[in-house]
Each structure stands twice: as C-alpha cells, then as structure tokens.
C-alpha cells in the first residue's frame, strides 16, 4: 500500500512498478486461505497469515503502480472480498479501507497550505 501511494502521490517511477509487480507475482498462485507468514527474503514460515484480508487488500492497492499481468485480477478479487468479521478484524479492515480509498482515486493529501487556506491560522 505504501509503495502504491508513493507512486500515486509523489514520484511515479520504474522502481514502484517493479516492486508492485514483484509482490503481486510472488502471491499470484497462492489462494488467500493459503497465505502464510514469510521472511523478508520470501522464505515461508509455516504459520498461517494472521491478516489475509489486509494482505489481499494491499496486493490490490499495488495495482495502482503495477503494469503486470495480475493487477486487474487482484482488484477484482478485492472488490468481491467482504470485510473481515470477528477476531483481528480491526487491522484487516483498516487496510481494506485504506486500499479501497486509494483504489477509488479519492484518497488525498491535505497539506498545511490547504488547511491554512480554509482557516485563519
């Protein structure tokens, strides 16, 4: 999500496109119920992912920067994904919300100049 937002808001560049494509490719053949915990180098740690909804949401958000073959598929999967209920729902659904805002194109930055233009500071 952070890479996608950086790409969208500040400095679109080839690094963002490559990184987004790499993460989407890594998870491309893994079903959501098969998500695990991974080391930074991609080594599987045999524990189920605690936040699969959040992971899928951020993979969809990566589509903002990705030009790879999986970009639309992740957005489609995310669109059909219900919010999480029960245990661990807050973190998952927070990522869900921010990813949805980013993908909508309406997630904006309100800077100091924008704020001070509206109020006498």
Q: pLDDT grade, residue 30 (50/70/90)? A: very high
Element (H, E) at 8: helix 2-9
Whole-number pLDDT of residue 12: 85
- The Cα 15–Cα 12 span in angstroms is 8
User: 119 lies in a domain?
Assistant: no
In 3-116, beta strands by DSSP E: 36-38, 44-48
Res 109: pLDDT: 80
Q: Is the pLDDT of residue 82 over 70?
A: yes
Question: Does any domain span residue 29?
Answer: yes
* Residue 104's pLDDT band (cuts 50, 70, 90): very high
Residue 12 lies in a domain: yes
The answer to whether residue 120 sits within a structural domain is no
User: Residue 21: which domain range?
Assistant: 2-110
**Number of domains comprising the chain:** 1
| pLDDT score for 112 | 59
- Supply the pLDDT for residue 74: 97
* Res 11: pLDDT: 80
Region 77-81 average pLDDT: 96
16 has a pLDDT exceeding 80: yes
Please write the tens of the pLDDT for every residue from 33-60: 999 999 999 999 999 999 999 999 999 9
Residue 72's closest CA among 21, 109, 117, 19? 21
**pLDDT score, position 107:** 86
């Amino acid at each position: 999500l952070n890479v996608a937002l950086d790409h969208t808001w500040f400095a679109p560049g080839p690094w963002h496109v490559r990184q987004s494509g790499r993460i989407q490719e890594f998870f491309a053949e893994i079903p959501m119920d098969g998500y695990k915990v991974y080391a930074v180098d991609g080594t599987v740690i045999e524990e189920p992912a605690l936040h699969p909804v959040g992971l899928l949401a951020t993979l969809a958000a990566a589509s903002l920067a990705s030009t790879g073959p999986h970009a639309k598929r992740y957005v489609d999967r995310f669109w059909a994904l219900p919010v999480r209920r029960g245990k661990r729902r807050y973190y998952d659904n927070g990522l869900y919300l921010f990813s949805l805002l980013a993908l909508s194109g309406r997630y904006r930055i309100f800077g100091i100049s924008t704020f001070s233009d509206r109020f006498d500071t």
